[in-house]
Amino acid sequence: MRRVALEVVKTEGSARAGRLRTAHGEISTPAFMPVATQGSVKSLSPGDLVGAGAQIVLANTYHLFLRPGHDAVRELGGLHRFMGWPGPILTDSGGFQVWSLAKLRKIGEDGVEFRSHVDGSLRVLSPETCVEVQHALGADIIHPLDECLAHPATVEATERSLDLTLRWLRRTCAAHRSGGGPGALFGIVQGGAYADLRRRAVERVCALDLDGYSIGGLAVGESKELMYDTTALCGELLPFDRPRYLMGVGKPIDLIESVARGVDMFDCVMPTRNARNGQAFTRDGPLAITNARFARDPAPLDAECRCEACRLFSRAYLRHLFVARELLAYRLLSLHNLTFYLGLMAEMRQAILEGRFEALRTRFLARYGVESQGGANPST
Amino acid sequence: MRRVALEVVKTEGSARAGRLRTAHGEISTPAFMPVATQGSVKSLSPGDLVGAGAQIVLANTYHLFLRPGHDAVRELGGLHRFMGWPGPILTDSGGFQVWSLAKLRKIGEDGVEFRSHVDGSLRVLSPETCVEVQHALGADIIHPLDECLAHPATVEATERSLDLTLRWLRRTCAAHRSGGGPGALFGIVQGGAYADLRRRAVERVCALDLDGYSIGGLAVGESKELMYDTTALCGELLPFDRPRYLMGVGKPIDLIESVARGVDMFDCVMPTRNARNGQAFTRDGPLAITNARFARDPAPLDAECRCEACRLFSRAYLRHLFVARELLAYRLLSLHNLTFYLGLMAEMRQAILEGRFEALRTRFLARYGVESQGGANPST
């Protein structure tokens, strides 16, 4: 029996609307997962997340491994209880963070040795410890340790890396089976910018018959075209009846373009990180709240939005909070941006169910264009 | 007709339980006012404040005068609408902040000239502009500009200062009458550490027959004994049928001791500021959440508390949020501390109504002692 099960309810082209059953409840797909890096979606409470429409959150194995430690989280009843989130939780493998945050990495067949960015201590993550950590956290969906290459990388380096990641994946499967953790294991498809390596990755990973498949190594600085093409390729090759998760993506336009290419799940720090930098997503494009033109603007961020920030407050007040560095500013904009992201997912899903996703996509593209949404790097 | 009206419902000794009617609703006294310095109680939403039991908030005239400016707030519909708070708002005069935050103060008969701590600009507050600013904000209770002396001050300096403050008060009354603002004007009783000057202050201020009276110049470094004695003196001298507000006080024990001396209203940044420094108030005394002994503590901050922080989260999680510098930490501890303060006020009120305030006070003193509560300077 699978630990998670996807039912594809309706398709339109490659776009899919579905239901994903997990041990902590069912979620509607396509779904966006707010990022609770250290066991908290920055500035927001679990109640805020529910109010914004979140059904599932992502937590970072790397961060929780280093602090407070997976043993502490297990002792305290697991991550759901620890962070007060009753719904499903997906954890990444920590691989991406080892490569982007940690120092002094030494990679070998066994795993990766690195210095913690928190306290400088020497730590090791192997495929086996990575599973052990995620089992201790009690996540509903877990991920295998993978190597994350910077873009661009040569075909030789990418191939070497992919083969290591695939060997690690087989060890991960064995550890997951014997570890008896409650979660479902997703396989990560790497292969960088090379279509034939991506094909090989899909073939080898899918041969392991996993509960779901994650597309990794995108949104790391490659062109939009390459990102979309690689996503489309994976969308075509991955089995229809398993969830597909595009890791670390992305801007609103990327969500739409990737749903159009068959992706079911997303995560990105952009809505919350950009909020803390004063950027609000709206139906008329993004808005920099600190702009002086909002100083006496009585309108809400987005007149159609029903979040608390838009129901109660003017742009002028939100600008004031930002300029005055009031903590409430980060919270209200984070809430708004997540509401926007999650609303966009719900809108896409409804459109697929009603056979008008292409119309929605065309309208969105015409209104905002490819480059008008977002600004910061969407990587986690 | 008075702009605010106090009905004293029950007394026990000098302690009073009452109802204060304002243009934005009635509040139960004794009352604690959370401090919304810049138009926001740091990290909390209006909904949080209601949930914690707040009935009235305080905003700082000085801060809002400098940023975003009272004209902007008026244009945006007044402070209630601007900050999304439907209940009563009290504004202080800005005097205390001019003395504690601004640089290059030049004080004269006309008012005070200072450099803004925000942008270094040269600004002037006179008794008249101070009223104009508070009228523009639309506060329910406003205050006259006063001079705030540092403690200790000589009797001569205190007398000179008191006389200036009293001359300013008469100008304030004239400006308030002619300005047609919606709020009630409270008079501030200064006089420093000198009982005879305090007596003179009460006599002169009360001769103006104002809507309420505020006790100023305490919690600025004087001894507990002097603070309590001065409060008791003012409590005896001030008219029974008007609200008494003890400005900038204080620790939980100070609230109880001052209610015992006839005070109806309080404000202090301590619950929110200490929260941001990791101190939680509990029925067993204050607790430093970053302490390592909480690292695996599954208990809530305070088992009897019904706030969101205590209902959903363990000390271990709150400690983790603090150590990891997660924004949610400041919010949850602020919510908890305000819930504690406001709960204490409600408890005192109920005790007065039921004739058992002295028993409550004795129990509190026995349990915590005078010095065990709080730690940071309680000044605003």
pLDDT for res A380: 34
- Judging by DSSP bridges, how do beta strands A15-22 and A25-29 pair with one another? antiparallel
Query: Cα(A281)–Cα(A274) distance, rounded to whole angstroms?
Result: 9
What is the band of A369 on the pLDDT scale with cuts at 50, 70, 90? low
Measured in angstroms, the CA of A23 and the nearest CA of chain B are apart by 21
Measured in angstroms, the CA of A76 and the nearest CA of chain B are apart by 6
Please say if the pLDDT value at position A376 is more than 70.
no
Please say if the pLDDT value at position B372 is more than 70.
no
Measured in angstroms, the CA of A336 and the nearest CA of chain B are apart by 14
Per CB-CB distance under 8 Å, the chain A contacts of B44 are: 328
Please say if the pLDDT value at position A377 is more than 50.
no
* Interface contact flag, A327 B330, Cβ < 8 Å: yes
What is the band of B95 on the pLDDT scale with cuts at 50, 70, 90? confident
Mean pLDDT over A332-338 rounds to 98
Mean pLDDT over B105-126 rounds to 94
A28-38 confidence digits (pLDDT tens): 999 999 999 99
pLDDT for res A378: 36
Higher-pLDDT residue of A375 and A165 is A165
- Judging by DSSP bridges, how do beta strands A103-107 and A112-115 pair with one another? antiparallel
Mean pLDDT over A67-71 rounds to 98
Residue B92 designated active-site: yes
* Interface contact flag, B76 A42, Cβ < 8 Å: no
DSSP annotation of A90? E
**Across A342-351, A355-364, A367-376, B302-311, least confident range:** A367-376
Prediction pTM value: 0.96
Within 8 A by CB and 6+ apart from B66, the residues are B116, B117, B118, B119, B123
B198-215 confidence digits (pLDDT tens): 999 999 999 999 999 999
Share of chain A above pLDDT 90, in %: 88
Tell me which residue in A45, A314, A330 faces B308 most closely, judged by beta carbons. Answer: A45
Please say if the pLDDT value at position B374 is more than 80.
no
Mean pLDDT over B284-289 rounds to 94
Given B140, B254, B267, B302, the catalytic residue: B267
Tell me which residue in B67, B72, B296 faces A75 most closely, judged by beta carbons. Answer: B296
Query: Cα(B271)–Cα(B321) distance, rounded to whole angstroms?
Result: 18
Tell me which residue in B298, B316, B327 faces A43 most closely, judged by beta carbons. Answer: B327
Interface residue ranges in chain A relative to chain B, Cβ cutoff 8 Å: 38-40, 42-47, 63, 67-68, 72, 75-77, 82-84, 295-296, 298, 308, 312-314, 316-317, 320-321, 323-324, 326-328, 330-332
Q: Quick one: residue A224, left, alpha or beta (phi over 0 = left, psi -120 to 50 = alpha)?
A: alpha
Please say if the pLDDT value at position B370 is more than 70.
no
Measured in angstroms, the CA of B276 and the nearest CA of chain A are apart by 11
pLDDT for res B271: 98
Q: B15 near B37, Cβ under 8 Å?
A: no
Please say if the pLDDT value at position B376 is more than 90.
no
Mean pLDDT over A183-200 rounds to 97
What is the band of B2 on the pLDDT scale with cuts at 50, 70, 90? confident
pLDDT for res A367: 82
The residue to which tokens 């935050």 are assigned: B101
Q: Which amino acid is at A335?
A: L
Summary count for chain B: helices (H), strands (E): 15, 17
Show the domains of chain A with their CATH numbers: 5-268 (3.20.20.105), 275-368 (no CATH)
Tell me which residue in A42, A46, A324 faces B327 most closely, judged by beta carbons. Answer: A42
B322-340 confidence digits (pLDDT tens): 999 999 999 999 999 999 9
Strand ranges (E), chain A: 5-12, 15-22, 25-29, 31-33, 35-36, 57-59, 89-91, 103-107, 112-115, 122-125, 141-142, 184-189, 212-215, 244-246, 265-267, 279-280, 287-288
Mean pLDDT of chain A: 94
pLDDT for res B67: 97
pLDDT for res A284: 86
Rg (CA), chain A: 20
Strands in B122-125's sheet, in edge-to-edge order, are B103-107, B112-115, B122-125
Share of chain B above pLDDT 90, in %: 88
Mean pLDDT of chain B: 94
Query: Cα(B125)–Cα(B172) distance, rounded to whole angstroms?
Result: 12
Please say if the pLDDT value at position A270 is more than 90.
yes
Identify the residue among A272, A328, A332, A334 best suited for mutation to test binding to B, counting B beta carbons within 10 A and taking the highest: A328
pLDDT for res B105: 86
A214-248 confidence digits (pLDDT tens): 999 999 999 999 999 999 999 999 999 999 999 99
Which positions of A are annotated as active-site residues? Answer: 92, 267
Q: For residue A5, what are its two tokens?
A: 């099960």
B213-255 confidence digits (pLDDT tens): 999 999 999 999 999 999 999 999 999 999 999 999 999 999 9
pLDDT for res B102: 82
Q: Which amino acid is at A237?
A: L
Please say if the pLDDT value at position A81 is more than 80.
yes
Q: B176 near B209, Cβ under 8 Å?
A: no
Measured in angstroms, the CA of B71 and the nearest CA of chain A are apart by 10
Identify the residue among A63, A65, A76 best suited for mutation to test binding to B, counting B beta carbons within 10 A and taking the highest: A76
Identify the residue among A40, A49, A119 best suited for mutation to test binding to B, counting B beta carbons within 10 A and taking the highest: A40
* Interface contact flag, A38 B324, Cβ < 8 Å: yes
Per CB-CB distance under 8 Å, the chain A contacts of B314 are: 76, 82
* Interface contact flag, A326 B67, Cβ < 8 Å: no
Q: For residue B93, what are its two tokens?
A: 């005069």
**Residue A284 DSSP SS3:** coil
Strands in B141-142's sheet, in edge-to-edge order, are B31-33, B265-267, B244-246, B212-215, B184-189, B141-142, B89-91, B57-59, B35-36
Q: B122 near B113, Cβ under 8 Å?
A: yes
Q: How many CB pairs under 8 A join A and B?
A: 108
Per CB-CB distance under 8 Å, the chain B contacts of A38 are: 320-321, 324, 326
DSSP letters, B1-17, are --SSEEEEEEEETTEEE
Measured in angstroms, the CA of B375 and the nearest CA of chain A are apart by 23
Per CB-CB distance under 8 Å, the chain B contacts of A314 are: 76, 82
Please say if the pLDDT value at position B34 is more than 70.
yes
B271-285 confidence digits (pLDDT tens): 999 999 999 999 889
The residue to which tokens 């006179």 are assigned: B126
Tell me which residue in B47, B72, B308 faces A316 most closely, judged by beta carbons. Answer: B72
**Across A99-108, A120-129, A354-363, least confident range:** A99-108
Higher-pLDDT residue of B372 and B131 is B131
DSSP annotation of B139? -
* Interface contact flag, B323 A42, Cβ < 8 Å: no
Please say if the pLDDT value at position A95 is more than 90.
no
Nearest Cα to Cα of residue A77 among A136, A140, A158: A136
Mean pLDDT over B73-87 rounds to 98
pLDDT for res B78: 98
What ipTM was reported for this prediction?
Answer: 0.96
